[in-house]
Every structure is written in C-alpha cells, then in structure tokens.
Amino acid sequence: PNVGLTAALRLGPATALLYGRRAEVLLRLGRPRAAIHDCGAALGVNPNQAKAYKTRARAHARLKRWSEAHADFQTGLNMDYDDDTYEESKPVADKIREMQTVAAERRVRADEAAEARRCAARRAEAEAALQVRLQEQERRAQETFEKELIERKLGREPFYLQAKRQGYMTDFMGMKRGSCKCSRCDFYVWRPVRMNS
C-alpha cells in the first residue's frame, strides 16, 4: 500500500489526504520520522487536517518527543475530538506534567543555590570589612601603646621634661626644636653633645 500511495503522490496532484494516509502507513511500519515528514507535508497543503496532527502526535510520542506530541494532540483534538485519541493523549499529558514538575523543582533548586551564593558573598564581604576594621583598631592600639611607651620612657629624661615645660627645646647651638617628626612623641628632644675643641 505504501508503494501505491507514493506512486499516486508522484503521478497526480499531492493532496493532504494522500500524505496523511501515507503517514499512517509509515507509522505502522515503524518509521515515525518519515511519518512526521509526511504529516508536515499534509499540513502544508491543508493546515486544517486534524488527522495529520493526530498522526504526527503519535509519531512524536514514539520518538519520546513529549512536548511536540502534546501540542499536536491538543491541536488535533481541538479540531476534531474523538475518545480514542483523547485516551492516547493522556499518557503524553502525564509525561508533560511530570516534566514541568521536574523543571519547576530544578528551577527552585537553582534559585536556592543562587540565593545561597549571594548570601555567602554578602557574608564574605561583611567578614572582610570586619577584618579591615579590626586591623585598623589593632594598628591604632599599637600606635597608642608605642606612644605611651615612649612617653613613659622619656618621662624620666630631664631634657624631655624641660622641653615639655618650655614648649620647645634648644640644642647646643641655640636652635629651637619643635614637634617631633616621628609623630609619636610630643617634642623633639635634642640631647646636647659636648664638642672637643
């Protein structure tokens, strides 16, 4: 019968009915891809042929192309409803629902993972900022400690005490010395040195 349909398609004008019948035969012979091709040709000639949609849906279902099968079943049933095709379309609809559930679960897991990554990044930023603040506090505390240490050490020096009272210290040449350049102590303390003449 397939040879007769092919010959008829070659001889006369190609009709949607001939393409549809050959698609059914091809599907029965276990050639779903060829059946899909013929159904597409039938729908190209007549886009309102429900039988071509139903045959193509069955071929897609054989190839486990559930989305295409579901769409073709729905279109065919909307054009020409029959109970047998509806019963055939139920397992495909179940597969589609199952696929949608799995896709939704994956989407939820992906969103949760992205949110966890964002939270981890914010936590890392907060920890880095806290570390910077702690280092700054530690540096200031170290500077304060060193300044206090120098003041305690210099607090016993008579030149330092004199300079603190006077507000400056003169060296042995009579030059006034102002604030210390190290920025840790209050005054630049110049200890006079005896020169050998």
**To the nearest whole number, what is the mean pLDDT of the chain?**
81
- Confidence class for position 177, pLDDT limits 50, 70, 90: low
CA distance 29 to 35: 10
Calculate the CA dihedral of residues 96, 101, 102, 103 and round it to 10 degrees.
90
CA distance 5 to 3: 5
CA distance 96 to 69: 10
pLDDT at 193: 47
pLDDT above 70: residue 114: yes
pLDDT at 27: 92
| pLDDT tens track for 137-163 | 999 999 888 878 877 776 777 766 666
Q: What is the mean pLDDT of residues 101-116?
A: 94
CA distance 81 to 89: 11
User: b/e per residue, 14-36, with b = 16+ CB within 10 A?
Assistant: eebebbbbbbbbbbeeebbebbb
pLDDT at 136: 95
Q: What is the pTM of this model?
A: 0.56
pLDDT at 167: 60
pLDDT at 148: 82
pLDDT above 60: residue 180: no
pLDDT at 149: 80
**Cβ partners under 8 Å of residue 169, min gap 6:** 159, 162, 163, 176, 177, 187, 188, 189, 190
| pLDDT tens track for 18-71 | 888 889 989 999 999 999 999 999 999 899 889 999 999 999 999 999 999 999
Return the percentage of the chain with pLDDT > 70, whole number: 72
Mean pLDDT check: name the lowest of 40-49, 53-62, 77-86, 182-191: 182-191
Rounded CA Rg of the chain: 46
| pLDDT tens track for 119-131 | 999 999 999 999 9
Distance between alpha carbon 44 and the CA centroid of its chain, in Å? 42
Q: Quick check: helix, strand or coil at residue 74?
A: helix
Give the CA distances from residue 189 to residues 78, 107, 146, 177, 184, in Å, rounded to whole numbers and listed in that order.
Answer: 101, 72, 17, 8, 12
- Confidence class for position 185, pLDDT limits 50, 70, 90: low
Beta strands in the chain (DSSP E): 169-170, 176-177
pLDDT at 32: 93
Q: Quick check: helix, strand or coil at residue 197?
A: coil
For residue 173, give the nearest of 190, 185, 158 by alpha carbon: 190
